[in-house]
Chain A
């Protein structure tokens, strides 16, 4: 099940990554004579009220979250993991200070923080990605810190140290890669899902997020709402696509589960 989910998720992300380089005339060109059409062989999901192909827009909309979502993951990974790992392994004042900073920052709700960042630095996907990635740092950092702090005193770590194994090797290979790999993977997958939720939410409510004429599953939902019946495929499609993609991230994360010790 989770393998299928990984494959499907990879397909969605790939579409999103290559989409910006494609030719999306069907998704972008306004054709008044083809406005509001129902499903047909030419337009499997119909057209929107400006005559743009809904299926093409649905595909193009993946670019609104695929690349930026990965960027957000990279930001969180780079900022959180090394800081948390080193400070947890060393312990002492550095450890306490890092932990303290993570906990303090975690008190501001992530959504609120992102909203404020967007109102200033504009709502480009890069800004959103950086903001979301940064806002996730306390959460990921705390998780990694906790795990490494717990394992630091384990016998196999102490034994490795006694055998003269380099501290860096113990930390990065044994503790971070082997012991935290799955944990980090789960968090990054959750972060990707969070980015998707946030991007579509902001685009849906408007004011921030992806703006027309660029499609997002969020703004597609609101752009057509009220113009067609609630069960129209053209109106439901973005919602279903969003729900399905989030379900895929959830199923995929099953393969990263671990048996909890202690």
Chain B
């Protein structure tokens, strides 16, 4: 009897396993979006899903310039203090109601509402007032002169009729019953945490793929395997280690994309010995950045707080080259002496307690290699990896660290004020330079693109000179998509922006 138990169980298992039906496009996320409400976007997985379900007044075209989506056009007043937006007629929400100007007014009001505490509030702060002129026309009044307001009108519009008022809670029922105007509607939240999206039949534009499924695959290593096994059709971001394998596979196509993000090792600028600029510079000179980058992928090394393709990147600032001799001079000047294996001051070896976020992909490899490099140069490195909650508490809230390895990602405005202004919200390393503060303030106030460019390039030079962090690189990113999906163009940030054109064979 016992002998027959196992085959019997497996046989039962095979019988129970249902066959799959119509072919959806399946993509993977590390963690399923906990809620679907664009007012409270906290993760990129939510932003990607929202891109399929919701739409903004404007969106990006393939050249990343603004093109109308729920709007048909915009007339900017001569004083640039207001604009009239004309809305597309015949657009319906996924519950059958018509899309009107009231929805636009509601969305802006809900985002601005204090008690809503929307994570997107910053996006609509430039709008002072919304006036509904008729069903398909709204007038926006701005806080100050705007040169290209359409670039700021990409936020997702929500259906006013689904909410009681503009004070919306994260727990509002909308989070699991999202209604948008986008090409796909949420059909089902499944028991295995996956989300099924179905084509919205009354969509005001065309879309080709019938069904899209978001699958939660917590194990990142497993994601690329699943793509190779043809159990997924799309992988949003390929780990550099998997590039070679996926490239060799004839059923998968790799799509490179540029992101506005760069990696860095940030110092706690007000904590000894990192409060001494000579120490920070010496550490910068002891790191061989190219050797750190090589094992984790390809990219471009940056010399300051912008990506190399940015208009604000100052190409005159040269990236520091490894220079052990100069580093030794700087450390000696800062009072350190090499005794035994390590550089020490007052009998204490120079120690870098390096903190990194556990789920920042490939950070592990970088930290290990960095530790290996610096140890061989006489700097002790003690790495710690923190989970997200602990990271946010320790680094963001308490700012309790020696040095962090992390990356910053920006939208196209590439506004680094919060990172480098002495009063910036994300200036965790307490970097302070009055000149940089002034330049950043001026850049924020100016609407003239040329002036802004000049100011921010100066910011680049000054920041690079102060060494508040070791600027590392901007990484080349790749998506991997099955060749059965045709006409693929991916958006570098939201991924699905142009998915209406995609076809699934």
Question: Does A8 touch B at the CB level, under 8 Å?
Answer: no
- Determine whether the beta carbon of A212 is less than 8 Å from that of B295: no
- Determine whether the beta carbon of A226 is less than 8 Å from that of B295: no
Closest CB of chain A to B249's CB: distance in Å?
A: 14
Given contacts A30-B369, A30-B373, A50-B368, 14 further A-B contacts (CB under 8 A): A29-B372, A30-B368, A30-B372, A32-B369, A50-B369, A211-B385, A212-B364, A212-B367, A213-B367, A213-B371, A222-B221, A226-B224, A226-B225, A227-B241
Determine chain A's interface SS by DSSP, over half rule: loop
Question: Does B294 touch A at the CB level, under 8 Å?
Answer: yes
Question: Does B383 touch A at the CB level, under 8 Å?
Answer: yes
Per-residue B-contact encoding for A191-217, CB less than 8 Å = 1, 0 else: 000000000000000110001110000
Question: Does B387 touch A at the CB level, under 8 Å?
Answer: yes
Determine chain B's interface SS by DSSP, over half rule: helix
Question: Does A28 touch B at the CB level, under 8 Å?
Answer: yes
Q: Can you show 22 pairs from A to B with CB atoms below 8 A apart?
A: A29-B372, A29-B376, A30-B368, A30-B369, A30-B372, A32-B291, A32-B294, A32-B295, A49-B241, A50-B295, A207-B358, A211-B358, A211-B384, A213-B368, A213-B371, A213-B383, A225-B221, A226-B221, A226-B224, A226-B225, A226-B241, A227-B241
- Determine whether the beta carbon of A207 is less than 8 Å from that of B364: no
**Cα distance A35–B372 in the bound complex, in angstroms:** 14
Q: Which residues of B contact A212 (CB under 8 A)?
A: 364, 367-368, 385
**Cα distance A60–B89 in the bound complex, in angstroms:** 69
A-B contact count (CB 8 A): 43
Name A's B-contacting residues (CB within 8 A).
Answer: 28-30, 32, 35, 49-50, 119, 206-207, 211-213, 222, 225-227
Per-residue A-contact encoding for B467-481, CB less than 8 Å = 1, 0 else: 000000000000000
**Cα distance A211–B291 in the bound complex, in angstroms:** 22
Question: Does B323 touch A at the CB level, under 8 Å?
Answer: no
Q: Closest B residue to A28 by CB, please name it.
A: B372
Question: Does B242 touch A at the CB level, under 8 Å?
Answer: yes
**Cα distance A35–B241 in the bound complex, in angstroms:** 12
Q: Closest A residue to B222 by CB, please name it.
A: A226
Q: Which residues of B contact A28 (CB under 8 A)?
A: 372
Measured as residues with beta carbon below 8 angstroms from the partner, the interface class of chain B is: 20 to 34
Which of A30, A35, A212: most chain B Cβ within 10 A? A30
Question: Does B365 touch A at the CB level, under 8 Å?
Answer: yes
**Cα distance A226–B223 in the bound complex, in angstroms:** 11
Closest CB of chain B to A202's CB: distance in Å?
A: 13
Q: Closest A residue to B291 by CB, please name it.
A: A32
**Cα distance A30–B365 in the bound complex, in angstroms:** 10
**Cα distance A252–B225 in the bound complex, in angstroms:** 40
Q: Closest A residue to B384 by CB, please name it.
A: A211
- Determine whether the beta carbon of A35 is less than 8 Å from that of B221: no
Q: Closest B residue to A31 by CB, please name it.
A: B372
Q: Which residues of B contact A206 (CB under 8 A)?
A: 358
- Determine whether the beta carbon of B371 is less than 8 Å from that of A35: no
Q: Which residues of B contact A32 (CB under 8 A)?
A: 291, 294-295, 369
Q: Which residues of B contact A226 (CB under 8 A)?
A: 221-222, 224-225, 241-242
Q: Which residues of A contact B225 (CB under 8 A)?
A: 226
Q: Which residues of B contact A207 (CB under 8 A)?
A: 358, 387
Closest CB of chain A to B325's CB: distance in Å?
A: 23
Within B430-470, which residues are at the interface with A (CB < 8 Å)? none
Within B363-413, which residues are at the interface with A (CB < 8 Å)? 364-365, 367-369, 371-373, 376, 383-385, 387
Q: Which residues of A contact B372 (CB under 8 A)?
A: 28-30
Closest CB of chain B to A105's CB: distance in Å?
A: 27
Q: Which residues of A contact B383 (CB under 8 A)?
A: 211, 213
Q: Closest B residue to A120 by CB, please name it.
A: B390
**Cα distance A211–B294 in the bound complex, in angstroms:** 22
- Determine whether the beta carbon of A35 is less than 8 Å from that of B295: yes
**Cα distance A227–B243 in the bound complex, in angstroms:** 11
Listed from nearest, the 10 A-B pairs whose CB atoms lie closest are A30-B372, A226-B221, A213-B368, A30-B369, A212-B364, A211-B385, A29-B372, A212-B368, A32-B295, A225-B221
**Cα distance A226–B221 in the bound complex, in angstroms:** 7
Q: Closest B residue to A208 by CB, please name it.
A: B387
Q: Which residues of A contact B221 (CB under 8 A)?
A: 222, 225-226
